[in-house]
Amino acid sequence: MNENKKTYILGVESSCDDTSAAVVGDGGLLLSNVIASQQVHEEYGGVVPELASRAHQQNIVPVVDAAIRRAGISRGDISAIAFTRGPGLIGSLLVGTSFAKGLSLALRAPIVDVNHLHGHVLAHFIKEKESDEVPPFPYLCLLISGGNSQIILVRSYKDMEVLGRTIDDAAGEAFDKCAKVMGLPYPGGPHIDRLAAEGDPKAFHFARPHIRGLDYSFSGLKTSFLYTLRDAVRANPDFIEERRADLAASLQYTIIDILLDKLKRAIDITGVKALAIGGGVAANSGVRDAVEKLCNSRGVRAFIPQRKFTTDNAAMVAVAGYFKYLDGDFCPYDATPYARVNI
Ligand code: KG4
């Protein structure tokens, strides 16, 4: 590494249904972040893996090209290429991994593999301006997405310990599956969020899990929600239509209650002074407010990311890759992507 040369890390993210590329400079300063979301899955009510990898193939070159252009650099300036190696859909990951390797050979720039979950946790280190504040180590990160619900103790950029995780569904799945029962489009989380703003969060009571330790469970809530609707619709076929907002508000309230119950315990056990949230569900208005309030009441600093950095994006991959690059932690060319991996 040339000490005087400026660092530019190109990040490539293709783990699910968003093709994204970003460039970060020294200190994790964000220079560009381009995302092409795939609409093709909407009519299927969920992500279709084969269609996702095909769309990545079509999107990846223009998206990377745009990221480099918007960053105001040229390809030859790139110090390293960071890519998401997993977890995710294997076909989608293969597109990003192969692209990163090819570009790396062409540019003679090393590759850095990034764990997608580390990316979400380290999204708080993306700086849009030099003065942006970042969480102090150690901090707790509540990582809540379509595939994960975890409480992570983050000791450093690379030392992370999962203190609790879901034993069944993720929080995002609970939002999406319950929304589907209500006839809302996929993904249902944002629709529930919008409807909840006009409903009564105490209108309905849904089951809460009794799980020991810091683990989560959301499958009981899903069943309880389903049975409540099934019974009510038998008595009144217009029930869902008439009570949409109250159902959404009560569902959201219950999910937040479950999330915060374990989070409070994690704060007490670890004694951390900072708490961050990440992952798609961290975009939820109710979650953001509740976490902020919890932190204020406990004298803990809350790090609530901008919504654009909660869902899948390459800026978080580039910033996670930046710290590995500084450590000289590069990836060999025979590295293959992994569909499943822990933090
Ligand atoms: O991190 P993410 O983009 O990717 C996956 O894990 O696949 O998270 C997607 C999840 C979906 O379940 C989606 O419904 C949820 O994040 N989500 C939300 C909101 N925005 C996205 N859930 C609740 N409220 C939101 N505003």
Mean pLDDT value across residues 154-170: 97
Q: Are strands 30-37 and 80-86 parallel, antiparallel or unpaired?
A: unpaired
Average pLDDT, the chain: 96
The strand order across the sheet containing 301-303 reads 160-165, 149-154, 139-144, 274-278, 301-303
Q: pLDDT category, 2, cuts 50, 70, 90?
A: low
Mean pLDDT value across residues 32-41: 92
Say whether pLDDT at 221 is over 90: yes
- Say which residues have a Cβ less than 8 Å from residue 288's Cβ, sequence separation at least 6: 277, 282, 304
Q: Say whether 45 sits in a helix, a strand or coil.
A: coil
Say whether pLDDT at 43 is over 90: no
Ligand 1 centroid, distance to 279 Cα (angstroms): 7
Say whether pLDDT at 42 is over 90: no
Among 131, 129, 168, smallest CA distance to 148 is for 168
* DSSP H helix total and E strand total for the chain: 9, 10
Quick one: pLDDT at residue 19? 98
pTM for this structure? 0.95
Which residue minimizes the CA distance to atom 5 of ligand 1?
146
Quick one: pLDDT at residue 180? 95
Quick one: pLDDT at residue 39? 86
Residue 32 CA to residue 287 CA, distance in Å, equals: 28
pLDDT tens track for 243-280: 999 999 999 999 999 999 999 999 999 999 999 999 99
Q: Are strands 139-144 and 30-37 parallel, antiparallel or unpaired?
A: unpaired
Amino acid at residue number 227? Y
Q: Are strands 9-13 and 18-24 parallel, antiparallel or unpaired?
A: antiparallel
- Give the Å distances, CA to CA, from 171 to 101, 128, 166, 199: 34, 29, 8, 20
Say whether pLDDT at 158 is over 70: yes
pLDDT tens track for 73-91: 999 999 999 999 999 999 9
Which residue minimizes the CA distance to atom 13 of ligand 1?
189
Which residue minimizes the CA distance to atom 16 of ligand 1?
280
pLDDT tens track for 116-125: 999 999 999 9
Mean pLDDT value across residues 290-316: 97
Quick one: pLDDT at residue 269? 98
Q: Say whether 53 sits in a helix, a strand or coil.
A: helix
Quick one: pLDDT at residue 51? 96
Q: Which residues line ligand 1 (CB under 6 A)?
A: 16, 145-147, 172, 175-176, 187-190, 193, 279-281, 283-284, 311-312
Ligand 1 probe mutation, 41, 143, 175, most atoms within 8 A of CB: 175
Residue 102 CA to residue 94 CA, distance in Å, equals: 12
Q: pLDDT category, 1, cuts 50, 70, 90?
A: low
